[in-house]
Structure 1
């Protein structure tokens, strides 16, 4: 069977610029989460949006539990999209786990990437004390995964306000909860397990692409220590502390997110 990559990942190409910028969504989301961000790039860039298999309007029949039991499976899809569209010198903007997916893809094919922008990234969510603080103990993740399995809707309503971190703006939490609930529970649970138990620290030394790390304030998923760790281990990286609170600045503070990405690209 020939895989139609563009259909599989619901790829959309927008904008009129010659330089390509690709936006990759995080866990429990889809490309629609970028809707406040991407119009600001249409004039200057060719904007590529897509959904990971199992998210958004991707073709769920392509989901392969073995392939996607590792972040490299998702990185392979990113490279396939670039190959089909014949992209080069791509600016890759990844939210959360997509930061690491894009990084892994860039290690395999550095010539395809010009810059990486990491929004709320983490190379490892689990603590590895005393050398590394990721923010989570193993029992925290195990309880989260168990809750997903036993009560998926309950898990979504529990997690959404914690990670959004904007209690006075209930519509943001409601949107995120709705996004979580729209996922296939079995695929979402596997993606959560792959994400939260991943460890990309050893790969950091292999990255050659210039990188911007955008560190959010009060981020329950990627604390400040994680941003500092990434900056100290990624060659040619810049760390910027955002005013935006929570783990979804492209929803809560799109203006600041746009400005910081554009400022970086203008000086890169």
Structure 2
């Protein structure tokens, strides 16, 4: 029960269906998955949770040392799976949670039997022969801005991350989610996210994997989705006709259709 409370775990949907774990990205919480829950719940058991420092999680459980690497967040995910005694679950991770899912699946292969990576990025910073979308200077400036004025950063970045300028309510929702996160905890998660490099972990993925990217994404450009697909043996890549970094909110029908097709093909 401690883990259930710590991570504000919610279980819904068909108790007899295959379990789908929905893991949110930086600055978000489980509420961001509500449209996918509505679509998937009739046929699947749905598990949602908040990483420590987000949503309704227990802030007293936060440790800067633990969450200074993606391994700490992966431990959250694994411990949620253990608390519920999940077996062969499908882990759906948005943004940085896609990489957290990779780590969790490696740590607990009996718990996670498939991955869905929504707008993933194994490294946000450009490197020799690799385009992550940001230069080192970009990342340093982003982190400095976030740390000096988190609320101002949230107001500026949320519309850029969400895209879909013709639907400002989406950017407003993301901004409100950012602003609801404790700034000190967000600072740690941001550094962990934007300075991470999970490229070497991709080749070790041994479960069926769906990679979902968008035609336009300011955070994870299409080159990144193709890189992830090539790096994970046997993975499937679907490029959604969607704009922005949160297709589960901006293009829920297309996102659900791609995930549902993938789930239908699993044994």
TM-score (normalizing by structure 1): 0.97
Q: Deviations over 1:146-199 (max 9, x none)?
A: 111211111011101111111010111111111111111111011011000000
Separation in structure 1 between the aligned mates of residue 172 and residue 87 of structure 2, nearest angstrom: 37
Counterparts of 1:189-200 in structure 2 under 5 Å?
Answer: 189-200=187-198
The residue number in structure 1 matching 2:89 is: 90
Separation in structure 2 between the aligned mates of residue 142 and residue 37 of structure 1, nearest angstrom: 34
Separation in structure 2 between the aligned mates of residue 18 and residue 160 of structure 1, nearest angstrom: 35
Separation in structure 1 between the aligned mates of residue 75 and residue 147 of structure 2, nearest angstrom: 27
Task: Tell me the secondary structure at the aligned position of residue 35 of structure 2.
Answer: coil
Say whether 1:15 aligns with 2:18.
no
Say whether 1:77 aligns with 2:105.
no
Report how far residue 267 of structure 1 moved.
2.1
Report how far residue 43 of structure 1 moved.
1.8
Separation in structure 1 between the aligned mates of residue 48 and residue 265 of structure 2, nearest angstrom: 24
Separation in structure 1 between the aligned mates of residue 204 and residue 253 of structure 2, nearest angstrom: 32
Report how far residue 113 of structure 1 moved.
1.6
Say whether 1:238 aligns with 2:227.
no
Q: 1:178 is matched with which residue: 176, 179, 185?
A: 176
Separation in structure 1 between the aligned mates of residue 107 and residue 234 of structure 2, nearest angstrom: 18
Q: 1:142 is matched with which residue: 140, 143, 149?
A: 140
The residue number in structure 1 matching 2:30 is: 31
Report how far residue 40 of structure 1 moved.
1.4
Report how far residue 54 of structure 1 moved.
0.3
Task: Tell me the secondary structure at the aligned position of residue 202 of structure 2.
Answer: helix
Say whether 1:214 aligns with 2:223.
no
| Count of matched residue positions in the alignment of Structure 1 and Structure 2 | 265
The residue number in structure 2 matching 1:126 is: 125
The residue number in structure 1 matching 2:201 is: 203
Counterparts of 1:44-63 in structure 2 under 5 Å?
Answer: 44-63=43-62
Q: CA RMSD in A?
A: 1.0
Counterparts of 1:152-167 in structure 2 under 5 Å?
Answer: 152-167=150-165
Report how far residue 204 of structure 1 moved.
1.1
Separation in structure 2 between the aligned mates of residue 207 and residue 88 of structure 1, nearest angstrom: 17
Q: 1:257 is matched with which residue: 239, 242, 255?
A: 255
